[in-house]
Every structure is written in C-alpha cells, then in structure tokens.
Amino acid sequence: MTTSFHPPVRTLMGPGPSDVSPRVLAAMARPTIGHLDPEFIRMMDEVKEMLKNLFKTKNELTMPISAPGSAGMEACFVNLIEPGDKVIVCQNGVFGGRMKENVVRFGGECILVEDEWGTAVSIEKVKAAFAANADVKALAFVHAETSTGVCSDAKVLCELAQANGALTIVDAVTSLGGVNVDVDGWGIDAIYSGTQKCLSCPPGISPVSFSAKAVEAVQNRTTPVPSWFLDTNLVMGYWGGGGKRAYHHTAPVNSLYALHEALVMLEEEGLDNAYTRHQKHHLALRAGLEAMGIGFLVDEDSRLPQLNSVLIPEGVDDAAVRTALLQNYNLEIGAGLGALAGKVWRIGLMGTASTQRNVMLCLDALENTLAGMDAPIKVGVAAQAAAAVFAK
Amino acid sequence: MTTSFHPPVRTLMGPGPSDVSPRVLAAMARPTIGHLDPEFIRMMDEVKEMLKNLFKTKNELTMPISAPGSAGMEACFVNLIEPGDKVIVCQNGVFGGRMKENVVRFGGECILVEDEWGTAVSIEKVKAAFAANADVKALAFVHAETSTGVCSDAKVLCELAQANGALTIVDAVTSLGGVNVDVDGWGIDAIYSGTQKCLSCPPGISPVSFSAKAVEAVQNRTTPVPSWFLDTNLVMGYWGGGGKRAYHHTAPVNSLYALHEALVMLEEEGLDNAYTRHQKHHLALRAGLEAMGIGFLVDEDSRLPQLNSVLIPEGVDDAAVRTALLQNYNLEIGAGLGALAGKVWRIGLMGTASTQRNVMLCLDALENTLAGMDAPIKVGVAAQAAAAVFAK
C-alpha cells in the first residue's frame, strides 16, 4: 500500500522552482470551486488585471496558460508561426534552442543567431541577420536565460525588430517579477513567463501576453493553428471577459488561487521594490562569494540578480557539493547545463526566496561544505562581506 | 489594491471539478521541492505505479501530462496522427466533436460516426464505417461523455478496432475511477483522463497511457510531432524512470502532490469499492429524483453513475434554478450543453463527492427550490425513496 507523501522542507535556490510563500501555499489549498462559478470568474478578472500591471501592458490578450512555461512558449510559436515563415532565433543557452525547435516543428524557417553560453545576445549579429534576410516574420529571443543567468537587452532587440517590420517573441520566464519587463514600453508582441521563478508560485502556469499586432497576425493566418488546447482564439473565449465566458478547458482552479495570491503579494510590495530587493540580495551574495574567491560566469553588465551562475572552484566535485548541500542543509542549488555542466552552479534568489536569510544560509552552507572538501577558497570572510552590503 | 481571494465553500455536483477531499487539499499545500529532487522523483515513481493500477495496464508510458484533460486529448492525437491518416471519430456529444477538431488540425482525414446526444456510440455504425473505409489508422471515441452522461461500450469498440487493424484513442476523462476502465483487458492503445472528475483532485493534470503499439506508431512517424511540449518521446525522458531523468519541462510539483494523495486514497478504498460506491449513490439519487417525477435523459443501460443527465421539468427556468441552488445552498450542478441547454441538468456524483450526504443535500435543495417555483414535481417523497436505497 502506498503511503501519503510528505516532502522534506527545502530551501530552493536553484533555477526554479523557487521557495513558495506560506501565503501562496495556503491559497492553493482553499476549497475548489467551479471554473464557471461567478466568484471564480471575478477572481480571473483580478488575475488578468494584475498580470497586465506586472507585464506593464494594456494588451487585452493577457492571461495565464493552464500549463508550464514551455507550453507558454509553444502558445506563442504555434499561434504566430505558419509553415514557411522566417524567424530569427537568438540562441545563447538552452531556451533559445527550444525556441528553434518550436519554429521547426511548426514548419517555420529558422535563422539562427548564436552567441556563446554565458554572454548576452549580440545586437550586431541580429542586425546582420536582418540585413541578410528579407521578410522576417518574427525575432525570438530569451530575455533572461535560465540556463546561464544572462540578461539580454530586450529593449534594443525589440527596436531592431520594429525597424525591420518583424514581430517579437520574448521568453520572460526567469525575468518577470525580478527585473524590469516593459511589454508596451519596449513593444513586445508575444511574451510568456512561468509562475515558479520570481513569482514564487508552484510550477504549472504560464502567464502570456499578445499585442494587438500579434492578435492580428493570428487572425490573418491562412492555416489553422495546429493546436486546439493553445489556440488563442479559443482560449480567449474563456479568458476574454466581456460578460459571457465560453467553456474551453477546465481551468486549474487551485493553481490560479496560488497565482492570484502571489500577484497580490507583489502588488503589496510594489514592482520597483521587488526589483530593488532582488538586486540588493544579489549584491550581498556576490560580495560573499567573491570574498570566498568564487567568481561569476557572466559579465557584470548582463548578470541577472535573480540567477547567479558562479564558477565551480578548481578540482571541486560538482555533484558531491550539491548532494551535500541538499542532505546537510536541505538547500537546493542548480547544476550547469550542456557545456557548462560541472563548470558552474546556478544559485537562484528568486521572488520570496530572495531574502537575507537565504543569502546567509547559502554562503555558510557553501563555505562549510567546500572547506570540508579542502577546496581552494578563503574561509571566514564571506558572511562579513555580505553583511556589509546588507548594512548599506 | 487587490485583496486575497477567499472562495465560497461550495458542494460541487456538476460535471467537474468535483469536491476535493481535505486530505488532497492539504497535500497540495505541502512545501514545494525541486522537480529533480530525489524525493520528488521517488514520488513520481509512486504516481506512475498507482496510475498503472488505476488504468489496469502494464504500459510503461503511463504518466500524468502537466496540463488539463484537453491537453491529454491533444497529446494522444498530436503524437499518433500524421497528415493524411484516416481516423474514425465517434461523436455523440461535445468531446467527440473536440476529437474531430484535433484530427483535422493535425492534418488527418476524419471519418465521422454520429449518434444523437444522449445515446451511446452505435456499434453497427462503427462497423459500417470500418467496412466502408480501408486503412483506418485509429478509432477514437469517448468512453464517458461528460456532456451527456452516456457510457459507450469501450470493450466492444476496441474489439472492432483490433479486428480492423486500427489503434484506439479513448477519452476516459469522466470514467476513470468511477466505472471500470480496463486498458490492457480491452486493448486500448491511447487513453487520457483528468484529475477533476472521479479522482477528486483540483483540475490541471491529465493522466495518459500509451500501449507498446502506440509507442511504436509514434516512433515510426515520418514527420516530427508538431508539439514540443506534448511530444511523448521527450516527456518520457523525464517520466521514463530507469535512473536518469532528463529535464523536459518543470513539473507542476504541488499539483502532483495532490494527485499522489488522491491515488493513495483510491488505493485505500479499493477500485471495486469505489465503483460500487458510485453505483449505489447513483441509484439513491435516481430513486429520489424519480419519486419527485424527474426522469433521465439516458437509457438505463448506458447511464453513467457518476454523471446524471436529468430532464428539467416542464416550464421550469433552468438558469433560475441553478442560480438559486448556488446562492441558497452553495450547491453547483451543471447546465446542459448545445442542443441540451435548458433541457437537462447534469448532476455529478464523482469521486469523494459521491456521498450519501451529497445525495440528500441535492434532493432536498432541488425539491425545495422547485417547489418554491411551483414546478410540477411531487414533494415530500424524494428523501424517503433515496433512504430506502441506502438501507439496502
């Protein structure tokens, strides 16, 4: 007979999911009501309004997709890309590669702009790609690469796309709520995110937003959207508002309670305060790590405060350290992916996990663990270096 | 400033979501852990094993899709159907129509077998469709039509498909956990369900199972699966087991805690006991309704015990009754869909909502509400009629 599952209480400082606030967990456990209940529909309207504020957009098509971030990505590509469409895809990590996969599967022609993992998308290379290719339908890039901790210049990339008459498709899974995302200000046409990063919800939902230009592009398709579940024309019948709600699928009621509560918490704090908090704790973590002698993969000007890719000290066994942190401190940090496996750790300070307590825990646990393995680090200095940042 | 959402406490006796047990809600609120955490992976293995028992299958590809039932449906069609494939789709309600939409969107040729809403799929018509069409790749049908409360004969339909060398794609969203579903015994090749019906979880997850023959069909495709999120080849890298788990998407950790707990509860009760309980409460509800003078849409031999489509008495205002039930009793029952709108109510007795208490509540609330509207029903007899069934 299988028994109930009682998870260990971890501190989640990997690339996501991040720690979820007890307020959000409590919201998730409230009694399920019907997905067409008038009270639920009122809550949906609030979720939509709060998402618009978070994305900084007036886009009517702003809503949570009932599935994780990778389905949010697919919602953007499956609706906007038709067979033969040319798409410039910027790849500087895992998720740019996934965008390419999406383009290919929906019959698009992918023009790949590659940058080294750990560096931002090169504006010059994107310029060159536009110069070399006429009739590009869309430029797709990852704002915050979860696999490397790099932030690319979304504003300038969007300007480039607009100057060339192309739509923009932007991955904001790790950026939303942690650093500025300005959909209307930058002119983003399709954007998707996830709940399990800087929104500090359990994973499973993907907020998306489509501009009027993107909606028009979907409506002007000459082929049907090759997905029923993700067809925005249908999904909007349910999320669209204006009184009548058409049944599309059964919304994940309790997961949306959680998202609602997380958005309320973010509203209470204020977006700018949340960005400042992420930045401050990043600087404290960085001061502590650098005092220990641990450096960063990413150049200072494109580092994400919420996801720190740090270089594993010479001779240290990556997996042994992560296992020790998990077993001895219930602390999860992330491994490197692809060519960065064994070379970097990814330390997240996302959403409600971006706290002084977590910075101190991580520095202490890492110092003790590495010192116990005779790793080449300086001991006894990290906590003080971080404390100096907190004191500012 | 938006405030936290506190849903009303409803009794959910519509077509789903159904009432969720406090045990399942509590499980859902346990602390989030990483989707690659060894403890989470252990839990995933238990979920897979319990799903295999529930589906009565040894299929290795048995897992929960990280999205609602309509994504489970799409997972079956997007993986199995290639452009030009002939598919016989049986339509006797809303969800057969959605299957047709899926076939068309993935470029298949749909051979439609239509039956009146409220009747089971006609075996004779399916036979005729096979006789009239060579090289049919798959037969798709809905085991338990949520829109009408009809159960079709899955066993015989699967035999027909096998005799004609076709795969079977079966919708078990409303049947799984409420009536017998025997994947290996009947030879089902692809099946999907939902968590929010007889499993009594919050909505958002779709258990699926693919036979070895279905897996082979996916592997023998000549075109790539036009979905990255739902490509079983990729999803199985994460859910497949055998030690190493490849990252695909971030699993909806807390929703899977809920599913795990619901499956543990079902295991504790025993599947046969759960079926018997659904049948008994159906008979009690029916006795009470018939005593009042309210009849059923569906013939006795194809009625689903967990979803009762009952005829709205002459002259009664459908919406006014449902609104009164919700406002005065916090009781949700379902409206009719399509041509049945205004003609039937759909009363669910699904999963943990299939209780004596709910049967009595529903009969009392309906009797009081209808009597208050001078509807042509007999009063004062329903509770006793139901009690007689409980006493058996």
What pLDDT score was predicted for residue A241? 56
Residue type, position A100, single letter: K
Which chain B residues are Cβ-neighbours of A69 within 8 angstroms?
249-250
Provide mean pLDDT across the span A48-66: 97
Total H helices, total E strands in chain B: 14, 13
Under a CB-based contact definition with an 8 Å cutoff, are residues A138 and A168 in contact?
A: yes
Give residue-wise pLDDT tens across range B116-143. Answer: 999 999 999 999 999 999 999 999 999 9
What pLDDT score was predicted for residue A177? 98
B319 touches chain A (CB under 8 A): no
Q: What is the mean pLDDT of chain A?
A: 96
What pLDDT score was predicted for residue B244? 66
User: How close is the nearest chain A Cα to the Cα of B51, in Å?
Assistant: 12
Give the CB-side neighbour count of residue A67, counting CA atoms within 13 A: 25
What pLDDT score was predicted for residue A329? 98
A46 touches chain B (CB under 8 A): yes
Give residue-wise pLDDT tens across range A357-377. Answer: 999 999 999 999 999 999 999
E strands within chain B? 11-13, 61-65, 86-91, 109-114, 136-142, 144-145, 150-151, 167-171, 190-192, 206-210, 307-311, 331-335, 344-348
Give residue-wise pLDDT tens across range B259-270. Answer: 999 999 999 999
In angstroms, rounded to a whole number, what is the distance separating the alpha carbons of residues B359 and B385?
Answer: 11
A193 touches chain B (CB under 8 A): no
Could you say which DSSP state residue A338 is in? G
How many Cβ atoms sit within 10 Å of the Cβ of residue A360?
A: 18
In angstroms, rounded to a whole number, what is the distance separating the alpha carbons of residues A372 and B264?
Answer: 42
In angstroms, rounded to a whole number, what is the distance separating the alpha carbons of residues A74 and A87?
Answer: 14
What pLDDT score was predicted for residue B246? 79
Distance of CA B68 to the CA centre of its chain: 11
| Inter-chain touch B46–A5, beta carbons under 8 Å | yes
DSSP B169-233: EEE-TTTBTTB---HHHHT-SEEE--SSSTT-PPS--EEEEE-HHHHHHHHT-SS--S-STT-HH
The per-residue pLDDT string of chain B (392 residues; one tens digit each, 9 = 90 and over) reads 999 999 999 999 999 999 999 999 999 999 999 999 999 999 999 999 999 999 999 999 999 999 999 999 999 999 999 999 999 999 999 999 999 999 999 999 999 999 999 999 999 999 999 999 999 999 999 999 999 999 999 999 999 999 999 999 999 999 999 999 999 999 999 999 999 999 999 999 999 999 999 999 999 999 999 999 999 988 888 887 555 677 889 999 999 999 999 999 999 999 999 999 999 999 999 999 999 999 999 999 999 999 999 999 999 999 999 999 999 999 999 999 999 999 999 999 999 999 999 999 999 999 999 999 999 999 999 999 999 999 98
| Inter-chain touch B229–A3, beta carbons under 8 Å | no
| Inter-chain touch B30–A102, beta carbons under 8 Å | no
Strands B344-348 and B307-311: antiparallel
A255 touches chain B (CB under 8 A): yes
User: How close is the nearest chain B Cα to the Cα of A392, in Å?
Assistant: 30
Under a CB-based contact definition with an 8 Å cutoff, are residues B192 and B171 in contact?
A: yes
If DSSP codes are grouped into helix, strand and coil, which group holds residue A50?
A: helix
Which chain B residues are Cβ-neighbours of A33 within 8 angstroms?
7-8, 10, 12, 17, 332
Distance of CA B271 to the CA centre of its chain: 16
A133 pLDDT tier (thresholds 50, 70, 90): very high
User: How close is the nearest chain B Cα to the Cα of A14, in Å?
Assistant: 8
Give residue-wise pLDDT tens across range A271-315. Answer: 999 999 999 999 999 999 999 999 999 999 999 999 999 999 999
Strands B11-13 and A86-91: unpaired
Give residue-wise pLDDT tens across range A183-203. Answer: 999 999 999 999 999 999 999
**Residue in A31, A202, A247 closest to B32 by CB:** A202
- Where on the phi/psi map is residue B190: left (φ > 0), alpha (ψ -120 to 50), or beta? beta
Which chain B residues are Cβ-neighbours of A27 within 8 angstroms?
4-5
B106 touches chain A (CB under 8 A): yes
A240 pLDDT tier (thresholds 50, 70, 90): confident
**Residue in A194, A253, A264 closest to B2 by CB:** A264
Residue A242 pLDDT > 70: no
Which chain A residues are Cβ-neighbours of B49 within 8 angstroms?
2
β-sheet with B86-91: strand ranges across: B61-65, B206-210, B190-192, B167-171, B136-142, B86-91, B109-114
Under a CB-based contact definition with an 8 Å cutoff, are residues B146 and B92 in contact?
A: no
Give the CB-side neighbour count of residue B385, counting CA atoms within 13 A: 20
| Inter-chain touch B202–A252, beta carbons under 8 Å | yes
| Inter-chain touch A12–B33, beta carbons under 8 Å | yes
Residue type, position A322, single letter: R
| Inter-chain touch A68–B250, beta carbons under 8 Å | yes
Longest dimension (CA), chain B: 65
How many Cβ atoms sit within 10 Å of the Cβ of residue B247?
A: 14
B254 touches chain A (CB under 8 A): yes
In angstroms, rounded to a whole number, what is the distance separating the alpha carbons of residues A87 and A248?
Answer: 30
A-B interface: how many C-beta pairs under 8 angstroms? Answer: 261
Residue B38 Cα distances to B32, B255, B315, angstroms: 13, 18, 60
In angstroms, rounded to a whole number, what is the distance separating the alpha carbons of residues B175 and B152?
Answer: 10
Kindly indicate whether the ipTM for this predicted assembly is greater than 0.85, answering yes or no: yes
Residue type, position A345, single letter: W
Domains of chain B from N-terminus onward: 21-267 (3.40.640.10), 271-391 (3.90.1150.10)
| Inter-chain touch B1–A228, beta carbons under 8 Å | no
Residue type, position B51, single letter: L
Counted residue by residue, chain B has a size of: 392
A243 pLDDT tier (thresholds 50, 70, 90): low
Residue A244 pLDDT > 80: no
If DSSP codes are grouped into helix, strand and coil, which group holds residue A191?
A: strand
B148 touches chain A (CB under 8 A): no
Under a CB-based contact definition with an 8 Å cutoff, are residues A196 and A218 in contact?
A: no
**Residue in B3, B68, B248 closest to A252 by CB:** B68
